[in-house]
Chain A
Amino acid sequence: MGKSLLDKVWQAHSVRELPSGQTQLFIGLHLIHEVTSPQAFQMMREQDLKVAFAQRTFATVDHIIPTDTRQRPYVDSQAEGMMSAIERNCREFGIRFFDGPSGHQGIVHVLGPELGLTQPGMTVACGDSHTSTHGALGAVAFGIGTSQVRDVLASQCLAIQRPRVRRIEIEGKLALGVYAKDVTLHIIRNLGVKGGVGFAYEYAGAVVEHMTMEERMTLCNMSIEGGARLGYVNPDQTTFDYVRGREFAPPAENFERAVAWWRSMASDPDAGYDDTVRLDGERIAPTVTWGINPGQAIGVDEKIPVADSFAPDDREVAEDAYEYMGFKPGAEIRGTRIDVAFIGSCTNGRISDLREAAKVARLGKVKPHVKALVVPGSEAVAKAAEAEGLPEVFRQAGFEWRLPGCSMCLAMNPDKLVGRQVCASSSNRNFKGRQGSPSGRTLLMSPAMVAAAAIEGAVADVRDMLGRK
């Protein structure tokens, strides 16, 4: 039996078996940001530890950064304190920091691939659960906590248990108006928010093979929402073409050697899997969440499911969701009035996401009652968008064009919902209170669907606007 990419990467990065039976796993790329790293540096100081491989850790600032102005000091003194801390920590420990003046600031999971830091066959860790994003390039990439950030800083390694592997094959072709976001929401809806616990997800099948790198990033990004700590796509020509020429990519004279190794790390055709799931891509509709976890998702033309339709484990959470959201089982999701529209995040803040949203934004104006924000994922994304005139398209339609950051995905900066506002959001989590108001409500959907909702002032079917026949 052949090996999966997970098997191969795990083996290549396995330093030794620890007395506990876990693997001491070498981490090829360590990314840090301002929220989950300051305590790790504090532990380093208290325990008198040195950074083992300072050149394999890169930092940026994304969670707390304001998106209206970058004027220092920040108005929020706590945010300013966190920014100062990461500046000092990077300086003292010799870590490269992609801050504003570097021209490379951005959401950590947009940055890694964009700079060519993330490469196939690597292990990638970051104190952030959406590190699974980097799996799109054929990396084994997963989120860790702050004590583990300390361990990677001190040793470039983690003590960790190897996950099992579930292959998810999505066959067929996606219809007009259906995007990678809909595919990931469809997977979570079908396999559940805890279905992936203990698993790595290997995404495959015609739909995935035809996806661009950025679409694969959206897909892998939300693996964690399905309970899988990591998700990946086997590297192929799409991957190699994406990496080539990026700032930290292997130099041209070594690139073919790199490609040969990357190819060798992909899953063998006869690889064995702990589980295999097949889904039909043709049956995926633009998908919207109606509840308080990403598994509570339906096609935009479906009705909010009744409690009896859920497995016993999920029924109570569904009841909780009806109450929190103020939605009735059996009601249409289409036509649900929204107050805020948010386009951005590590899930959907890349240039291709903004292009798709802009196509819809060109078709109308944001309804007056809707506050609509577009937040590019990085400075590079912002520059690319400017070169194509996208900020103007969005502004003319009534969207605000902001500076890069995590923004309203988790609202650690000033971009927050107020009271019980309903937000159509291209982000990844619709948990209670996620977008900054303890009673705020989030409907997850693709960036194009968010743009459609902003224009209609309510949840709309983007296929109608794109001229579905």
Chain B
Amino acid sequence: MADLIPIKKVAGRPIPLRGNDVDTDRIIPARFMKAVTFEGMGRFAFYDVRFDAEGHSKGHIMDDPRFEAKGPRVAIVNKNFGCGSSREHAPQALLRWGIKAIVGESFADIFFGNCVALGIPCVSASEAKVAALMAAVEEDPAHDLVVDLETMTIAYRGKSYAIALPGGSRSQLLDGSWDATRSLLQGADAVRATAARLPYVAGFAKA
């Protein structure tokens, strides 16, 4: 089993991905999911938003030289990011493109859970703060955005903003149990006891 990797701080060049209700079909169109592995998913992130039918760039921010950077990236999004399909291919594509953390106004439930399971913090901030942050980044994107889960703040160009993250997910990231398999397996006896209490597990046979 994988070692526990605590995630306390993510620093990387920011990239604003504007819009409310960005769905996972847009993040990764279904035709790119015809594979038995997540490898190579990164190049299909937001494919139809970024490229035309001939594969030419439409000048999307992810392909804008001003926002080009090496190393980890931090996406900035608006409301209900990642709605729709439960496909983990969506956060996998973003992760493999380089996105290691997401700051946004709000996230769809399943997408949020999938990100935690991959160790990608999705932290939220108010509409005004996200707007201010997006504007600051668009004006000058050449600095690292720091997401700090211990102090629950993000910092950009000397300005600090408070963020929120549900307590359970924050603990999972801080103690490394975001990869839940190990802690779930530690409860194996309790799992068997729970199963034994549920009458349907034995087909409602007389006790």
Which residues of A pack against B, CB within 8 Å? Answer: 12-16, 18-22, 24, 26, 28, 35-36, 38-39, 42, 47-49, 52-53, 63-64, 76, 78-79, 81-82, 85, 119, 121-122, 127-129, 131, 142-148, 150-151, 154-161, 163, 193-194, 197-198, 224-225, 227, 229, 250-251, 254-255, 257-258, 261, 293, 313-314, 316-317, 320, 410-412, 429, 431-434, 436, 438
Contact = CB atoms under 8 A, between A and B. Distances in A.
Contacts of B140: none
Contacts of A81: 35-36
Interface of B: 1-2, 19-21, 23, 25-26, 29-31, 33-38, 48, 53, 79-80, 83-89, 91, 106-110, 113-114, 117-118, 166-169, 171-172, 175, 177, 179-181, 183-185, 187-188, 190-191, 194-195, 197-201, 203-206
A89 B85 CA distance: 23
Contacts of A193: 21, 80, 83
B58 to A, nearest CB: 11
B184 A20 contact: no
A20 B114 contact: no
Given A26-B195, A129-B85, A257-B199, A159 B171 contact: no
Contacts of A20: 167-169, 171-172, 175, 177, 183
B201 A28 contact: yes
B191 A156 contact: yes
B94 to A, nearest CB: 13
A431 B84 contact: yes
A161 B31 CA distance: 32
Contacts of A160: 113
A85 B36 contact: yes
The 4 closest A-B pairs by CB, nearest first: A145-B88, A145-B114, A143-B86, A38-B36
B184 to A, nearest CB: 4
20 contacts: A15-B187, A22-B168, A22-B172, A24-B184, A24-B187, A39-B88, A78-B35, A81-B36, A128-B85, A148-B180, A151-B117, A155-B184, A157-B191, A159-B180, A197-B107, A227-B109, A254-B204, A254-B205, A410-B85, A429-B85
Contacts of B183: 18-20, 24, 159
Contacts of A14: 194
Contact of B110 (A24, A28, A129, A429): A129
B204 A197 contact: no
B31 A47 contact: no
A156 B185 CA distance: 9
B180 A42 contact: no
A412 B30 contact: yes
Contacts of B29: 433, 438
A15 B85 contact: no
B79 A313 contact: yes
A429 B84 contact: yes
Contacts of A35: 33, 87
